[in-house]
């Protein structure tokens, strides 16, 4: 029995495929995949969401918000920093984190809006 979500015959639009493949080679999609992979962890998504709510948070704030140890929060923040999602600054003995730029906030806002739309929840 054939699935209804596939083509019944094999054919493709060669010019369209080649154009899109060419565009795909120009972009750094592996880096985009790493960005989404970093955000795919629930705790890192929580950290990113928290930083969407406030301009900056110290590691201790983040640990309390996500209900983890400071070491665990710090680990998640390092991962997010490596992917260019957050940046930090030191003030004395404290480390304050913030979103790297407005695009990260937009990604999170769009993802949440999409999820509400799909599930019908507000």
Our count of domains for the chain comes to 1
**pLDDT recorded at residue 1:** 57
Residue 119: pLDDT band by 50, 70, 90 thresholds? Answer: confident
Q: Which residues of 35-73 are buried (b: 16+ CB within 10 A; e: fewer)?
A: beebbeeebbbbbbbbbbeeeebbbebbbebbebeeeeb
Residue 122: pLDDT band by 50, 70, 90 thresholds? Answer: low
Q: Does the pLDDT at position 2 exceed 70? A: no
Residue 8 lies in a domain: no
For 2, counting Cβ atoms within 10 Å of its Cβ (0-12 exposed, 13-18 middle, 19+ buried), the class is exposed
Q: Specify the CATH number for the domain of residue 108.
A: 1.10.10.10
**pLDDT recorded at residue 89:** 96
Per-residue model confidence as pLDDT tens digits over 47-92: 999 999 999 999 999 999 999 999 999 999 999 999 999 999 999 9
């Amino acid at each position: 029995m054939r699935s209804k979500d596939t083509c019944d015959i094999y054919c493709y639009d060669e010019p369209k495929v080649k154009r899109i493949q060419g565009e795909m080679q120009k972009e750094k999609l592996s880096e985009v995949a790493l960005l989404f992979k970093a955000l795919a962890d629930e705790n890192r998504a929580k950290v990113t969401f928290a930083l969407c709510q406030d301009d900056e948070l110290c590691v201790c704030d983040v640990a309390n918000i996500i209900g983890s140890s400071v070491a665990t929060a710090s680990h998640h923040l390092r991962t997010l920093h490596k992917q260019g999602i957050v940046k930090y600054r030191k003030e004395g003995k404290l480390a304050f984190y913030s979103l790297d730029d407005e695009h990260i906030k937009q990604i999170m806002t769009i993802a949440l809006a999409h999820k509400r739309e799909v599930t019908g929840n507000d």
